[in-house]
Amino acid sequence: MNILTLLIFTPALFGLIILALPSSFRASFKYITLLATLLQVGMSAFMYLNFKTGAAFGGINQESQYQFVHKLPWISLNLGTVGKMQIDYFVGADGMSIMLLVMSAIVMVIATLASWEIKSNLKGYFVLFLLLDMAVMGVFSALDFFLFYLFYELMLLPLYFLIGMWGGVRREYAAIKFFLYTLFGSVFMLLVMVGLYLSVTDPATGNHTFNIVQMMNPANFQKYSVFGLAVPQTIFGISARVVGFVVLFVAFAIKVPVVPLHTWLPDAHVEAPTPVSIILAGVLLKIGGYGIIRICMGIFPEVAASCAFWLGLLGVVSILYGALNALAQRDLKRLIAYSSVSHMGFVLLGVASQTAEGVSGAMMQMISHGFLSSMLFFLVGVIYNRVHDRDIYNFRGLATLMPEYATYVMIAFFASLGLPGFSAFVAEAFSLAGAFKSTLIPHWMAVCGSVGILLSAAYFLWTLQRMFFGKELLKGGEIWRTALTKLDVREKAALLPLALLALILGIMPSLALDKINDSVLAFVQFLQHK
Amino acid sequence: MHTPLPNTDLQTTYYALAAVVLPFVAFLINFMVSSKSSKMSGWISTGAVLMSAVLAAMVFARIWNMQQIHGQQLWFSIGETPVYAGVWLNNLSVLMLLLVTVVAVPVHIYSTAYIKTHENNRYFTYLSLFCFSMLALVVVDSMVLLYAFWELVGFSSYLLIGFWFTRDSAVQANKKAFIMNRIGDIGLLTAIIILFAQYHTFDLVQLFGEKGLLYTSTIKDGLWLPSSSIVPPHNGWVIYGSEGISSVWQYVAFTGIVLAVAAKSAQFPLHTWLPDAMEGPTSVSALIHAATMVAAGVFLLGRVYPMFNTTELDILAVIGCFTAFMAATIALTQNDLKRILAYSTISQLGYMIMAMGINAYSSSLFHLATHAFFKCLLFLCAGVIIHEMQHIKEENELDIDPQNILYMGGLRKKLPVTFVACVVGCLALVGFPLTSGYLSKDGILIQSFEWADGRSAMFRLVPYGIMLTSCLTAFYVARLIFKVFFGEFRLKEILPNVHLHVSDGGWQYTLPLLFLSLCSLFPLFSINPVAYEHAWLYQGFAPSNYLARESAYHMLVPIGINIASVFVAYWAYAVYIQERKLVFPQTSFWFRLSYHQWYIDIFYRNVIANAVVQLGKALFWVDRSVVDGLIELLTKITEMLAALSAWTDRYIVDGTLHLIAATTSAIGNFFRGFQSGKIQYYLFSMLAVILAVFIIKLLI
C-alpha cells in the first residue's frame, strides 16, 4: 500500500468508524480522531525521513522525479472517434508538497486537541472534521487536475457545515460568505480545467489528459487548442493563456487570501470555532499559495513572468493593508485574522520574485505561518473558552493572572513578528531578499514589504501592552478572575510543540530548506526556461 | 569549521565561543529551573559572565594587534546560496568582547543586591539573555547572524525595560523602544538585502574585511558596480561581477545603516526611546542603555565602515554633532536623575557617531570604551541614590518621585563612596585631565578641527558645535553634582521631621563603584595622561597619518575646553549653591524647548503614531464599507435579479400558463353548460349551431 494514499485516506477510514459507532460512544469520538491525526503525523514523519533529496528528485515538471507516487487508472471512457477520456488517481510528492503535508498533519493534531471545546453533535462534527482532513491531504498530493479539483471542492462542504453549525452568533452569514466566495473562484477554475484537458495530450497514449505534470510541458499542447502555445488563441480579445492564468490565480488568491479578495477571512475566523480557525489559517490558506506555485505558475510559466509585477504588487498591498487593518482591530481574533492576510502577502511577494531565495522564503513562510497561526488561534481560544469574550479592551494585566499563558502569547507574538530565532524571520527575510534580487519586480517592493515587519511589531506589541501588561483589570470582574484558570495539560500539549517547532525551524532552517531546496531550484530553472 | 584553522586559532575560537555561550547557559538554567525565591540565579549569571570575562581576556590577549581569525561552518543553504555561521575575531570584535564582559561583571554583582529576591530569577534570566546576544553580536561573521543578534539584543532590552510590567509607563516605554528599534531593524535588513543582491554573500569578512568586496566596488555613471573583475574563489564559491544597479541603492543601503545606527545608538531622529527606557531597573540602564547595547550602533559603523563614501561620512558627522548638541541642551533642564544621564548618553553617542563621520575611527572606538566605564559608573551611582531616596520615601510614607533631583541635596556626607565615584564619573564625562574621558574626548575634538580645515564654512559648524556641546556638558554635570550632593537636603527643608537612614550599602554596591571608578581614570588606557595618541586602544585602530602632533589644535583645544569647563562649572556653582540669578528664566522659550525635549516626542506621538493608527482605522472602514460593500452590492444585485426572475417566473412564465389553463377551463365550463342531460336542450343546441352556421355562411 502506498504511504501517501494511506496518509490521505486514513482520516476517511476513521470517519467511517465514527459514523458506524452508535451515539452512546460519543465521548470516544475525539480520541478516535486524535488517533487518526496522530497516525497521520507518524506517516508524514516517515515520509519526511525517507524523502530523498538531490537534483534527481526535483519534481516539478519531471514525473519520474516525484516520490511516493501512486498512479492508478480511474475513469476510462471510450469516446469513439474523439479518443479516450482518461482520469487517473495520481498522487505524489516533491519538495513543494512534502513539508506542507508534514505541517498539515501536525496542525490537524492541534486542531483535534482544540476540538475538546466542541460540545454538541459530536458525531457530525468529527466525521466532517475527518472528511476535511482527507480532502486537505488530497489537495497537497494530487497530481491529476481532476483529482485535485475533486479534493479542492470536497474541502468546501465540511467547512461550510463546520462554520455554519458550530460557529458563533453570525455563523450562517460567515459560512455562506465563505462558501460563495470560494465557489466563485473554483467554478471558473473548472472551465480552465476543461480547457486544459482539451488542449493537452499525453505523449505516450495520445489521449487527452488531466495530468498536471504533463500540462507543464509545452510540447504536450495541441497546435490549435485553446491554451496551446504554438498558435496563440484569444478569448474576448485577450490571450487565452493570460485568461487561464488569471482565472486560476483568482481562484487561489481567494484562498490565500490576497487583498482585495480577502473579506471572507475575518468573518469566517471570527465566527468559526477555534479548531476550524486553526485549520483555516494553518492549512487552507496554504492551499492558495501551493496552488499558485504548482498550478498557476507551473502551467502558465510565461504568463507568470509577464504578470510578476502585478503579483508582487498584490503581495505588497496585502502585507501593508493587512497590517494596517490589524492595527485597527479590537477583537483579538479579527486582529490575528488580518495579521494572516499580512503574513501571507510575503508568500505572494516571494513567489512573484521567481528567485530561489524568494520561492524558498515563500515556502518557509507557509510552513512557519502554519504553525504560528495555529498557535495564535489556539491562544485566542483559550481565553474565549473561559470567559466568552475576546475584546482587547476588556482585559488588562493578564500577565499577572495567567503568567504561563502570557509567556506562550509572548512567544507566539514575537515569533510572528519575525524575531530572529523563530521560523518567520528566516521566511520573511528571504522572501524580501528574493524580491530585491529579482529582475522581474522593482526593488522598491522589497523595501515596502519590509515596512510590514515594522507594522507587525506595532500591532502585536500594542496588543501585549493593552491586554497583558499593566495593572490587572477585567471587564467581568471577580467572575472572570475565577474563570481565567491556568492552562491545563491538554492546552500545554498543544502549545508547547508549536512553540518548539517555530523555534527549531528558526534555528535550524535547514530541516525544512533541505527538503524544499531541490524542488525550488528546479522550479526556478523551469520558470526561466519557460 | 569550514576553513581549516591552525590548532592555536581553533583553541582561541573555542574560547571566544565559550565566552559567548556561557551567559546563554546561565539563561537556560535560570529559565528552566525557576526557583523564584532564591539568590541562586543571580550567582549563576554572575559566575557565567565572570568566566566569560576571563575567557574574553584570554582571547583578547591572543588577537589584539596580532592576527585576526575567521572560522565558519555551513548553517543552511537557500537556493544556491550557502549561508554560513561563524566568528570573525579581529581588534574590533575582541575589544567589544572584553569591554562588554568586563562592564557586565560589576553590574551583575551590583544587581544581586539591587534586585529584590522574589524578582531575582526573572531578572537574571533576561540579563543573561542580553549578555549572550550582545556578545554574539560582536563576534559573528555573517550579516544574517548580525541582524539576528541585533534584534535579540533589542528584544532582551524590551524585556528588561518592561521588567516591572505592571507599571503602565514601563510597558509604554518598552513598546516604544522595540518599535523605534524595529525602524532601525528594517533599515538594517534593507541594507543587508541590498548588499546581498549586489555581492551575493552575507559574509562580513568577504565584504568588509581586508581587500573586501566593498573596496573593489565603484559608482560610475549612476551605476553601482560590485566589482570589475572576478573575485578569487573564496570557500570554493566564485563570485562574478554583475552588471550593477542604480547608484541610488547604494544610498538606500547607507540610509538603512544610518537608521539602524540611529535606532540602536539613540541618534536623532530615533533617539526618543532611550530616555523612556529609564523605566527599567537602574542596573539595566547602566549595562544596556549606557555602556553596551547603545554602543552597538557605533560598533556596526565600525564593522561596515568601508562602504561609506565622503558624502555619507559627512552626513554621519552632521547627525552625530547635531544629536550631541540637542541632547546636551535637553539635559540642562531635566529634573529626573536618570533622564539627565540618559540624555548625556545620547549626547556622548553623538560624539562617537560624529567621530566616525570625521574619519576619527579610532577615537570613536576609544571613546566608546571609556564612555562605557564612566557612564556605567554614573548609572550605578544613580542607582544607589535612587535606592536610598526610595528608602526615605517608604520610611516616611512620602509621595515623592525618588528620581527627582530637586528633592535631593547634601548627600555627599551621607553617601561618601557614591559621592567620590560620582565625581570621578562626572569628571571623566566632562573630559577633565587625568581621566579617561579627557583622552578619548579631546581626541575627537582635535580631529574635528583638523577635519574642518579647508572645508566650507558649513562644516566649520561641526567642531564649534561640538565644543559648545562640551561646555554644555560641563554645565549639566555640575548642576547634577551640586543639586544632588551639595547644599542642604531639600526634603528636610520642606519636612523638618523626615527620617534619614541612608548609607552607601554593602560591598555589592561599593566594590563595583570602586572598580569602575578606577577604570575611568587614565592609567588603564595610557601611561601618558595628556596625549591620546599614546593610548594603546587608540593605537590599535589608528591609521598612521594622525600620529604626528603637528597642528596647533593639539595644544589649543584641550586647554581651551578645560578652562571653559571650569568656568561653566563655577557658573553652575554660583547659580545653584550661592543661588545667584544668572540662569535663563524658566518661562523663556529656550527653557521650555529644552524642558520639553524639543517637542520631538510629542510630535511623534501626536502626529506620526496617531496618523498610523488613524490610517489603520480608515483602511478598516474601507475594508468594511468599500471592499465588503462591493461584495454586499453584488449580493444585493444578485438578490434583486433573483427577485426579478422570481416575479417573471410567477407572473409572466407561470402567468401565461395560468392564462392558458384559465382559458381552457373557461371554455370547458362554457361547453359544460350544454351537457345538462335533458333532450330538449340538446335539440335546442343543435338548432342554435345550425342557425349559427347558416348565419355565418350568409354573412360571408
Tens digit of pLDDT for each residue in B283-308?
999 988 888 889 899 999 988 888 88
Binary contact (B186, A419; C-beta < 8 A): no
Q: How far is it, in rounded angstroms, from Cα B404 to Cα A93?
A: 67
All three cell numbers of A308, joined, read 510578476
Torsion angle of alpha carbons A87, A93, A95, A99, nearest 10°? 120
pLDDT at B446: 86
Binary contact (B171, A430; C-beta < 8 A): no
Contact list in B for residue A520 (CB cut-off 8 A) is 79
How far does A517 lie from chain B, in Å, by closest CA?
Answer: 6
Number of A–B residue contacts, CB under 8 Å: 141
Q: How far is it, in rounded angstroms, from Cα A448 to Cα A434?
A: 14
> Quick check: is A354 in a domain?
yes
> Quick check: is A203 in a domain?
no
Within 8 A by CB and 6+ apart from B658, the residues are none
Q: How far is it, in rounded angstroms, from Cα B34 to Cα B42?
A: 12
By three-state DSSP, how is residue A512 classified? Answer: helix
Q: How far is it, in rounded angstroms, from Cα A528 to Cα B214?
A: 30
Residue with cell 539568590: B39
The answer to whether A473 faces chain B, any CB pair under 8 Å, is no
Q: How far is it, in rounded angstroms, from Cα A279 to Cα A272?
A: 10
Whole-model pTM? 0.90
Find, in chain A, the residue whose alpha carbon is nearest to that of B616: A324
Identify which of B92, B62, B61 has the alpha carbon closest to the alpha carbon of residue B208: B92
Burial call A331-345: b when 16+ CB within 10 Å, e when fewer: bbbbbbbbbbbbbbb
> Quick check: is A469 in a domain?
yes
Within 8 A by CB and 6+ apart from A4, the residues are A47, A68, A69, A70, A91, A92, A93, A141
Q: How far is it, in rounded angstroms, from Cα A137 to Cα A293?
A: 17
The answer to whether A419 faces chain B, any CB pair under 8 Å, is yes
Say which amino acid occupies A76.
S
Angle between helices A423-437 and A489-507 (to 10 degrees): 40
Q: How far is it, in rounded angstroms, from Cα A9 to Cα A75?
A: 19
Domain with A405 in it:
307-530
How many domains is chain A partitioned into structurally?
Answer: 1
Binary contact (B616, A324; C-beta < 8 A): yes
> Would you tell me which residues 344-373 of chain A have a C-beta closer than 8 angstroms to some C-beta of chain B?
355-357, 359-361
Q: How far is it, in rounded angstroms, from Cα B485 to Cα B419?
A: 7
pLDDT at B544: 52
> Quick check: is A395 in a domain?
yes
Q: Is the pLDDT of residue B2 over 60?
A: no
pLDDT at B35: 60
> Quick check: is A118 in a domain?
no
Cis peptide bond prior to A266, omega within 30° of 0: no
Q: Is the pLDDT of residue B91 over 60?
A: yes
Binary contact (B623, A325; C-beta < 8 A): yes
Identify which of B488, B469, B475 has the alpha carbon closest to the alpha carbon of residue B570: B475
Average pLDDT on B398-402 reads 83
* B208 C-beta neighbours (distance < 10 Å), count: 20
State the average pLDDT for chain B.
85
Task: Point out the residue among B155, B165, B620 whose CB comes nearest to the CB of A419.
Answer: B155
Q: Find which of B126, B186, B259, B610 to mutate to test the A interface (most A CBs within 10 Å of its CB).
A: B186
Output the tens digit of pLDDT for each of chain A's 530 residues.
Answer: 789 999 999 999 999 999 998 888 888 899 999 999 999 999 999 999 999 888 888 888 888 889 999 988 888 887 777 677 778 899 999 989 999 999 999 999 999 999 998 888 899 999 999 999 999 999 999 999 999 999 999 998 999 999 989 988 888 888 988 888 888 888 889 999 988 988 888 888 878 888 899 888 888 888 777 787 777 778 887 888 899 999 999 999 999 889 888 889 999 999 999 999 999 999 999 999 999 999 999 999 989 988 999 999 999 999 999 999 999 998 999 999 999 999 999 999 999 999 999 999 999 999 999 999 999 999 999 999 889 888 999 998 888 889 889 999 999 999 999 899 999 999 999 999 999 988 888 989 999 999 999 999 999 999 999 899 888 888 888 888 888 888 889 999 999 999 999 999 999 999 999 999 999 999 998 988 75
Contact list in B for residue A367 (CB cut-off 8 A) is none
> Quick check: is A195 in a domain?
no
List phi, psi (to 5°) of A508.
-120, 70
Per the DSSP assignment, residues forming a β-bridge with B70 are: B88
> Quick check: is A131 in a domain?
no
* B649 C-beta neighbours (distance < 10 Å), count: 11
By three-state DSSP, how is residue A86 classified? Answer: strand
> Quick check: is A339 in a domain?
yes
Q: How far is it, in rounded angstroms, from Cα B365 to Cα B342?
A: 20
Show the DSSP H helices in B577-678 as ranges: 589-595, 600-603, 610-621, 628-647, 654-672
Q: Which helix (H) or strand (E) holds B287?
A: none
ipTM computed for the complex: 0.91
Task: Point out the residue among A262, A357, A464 whose CB comes nearest to the CB of B79.
Answer: A357
The answer to whether A436 faces chain B, any CB pair under 8 Å, is yes
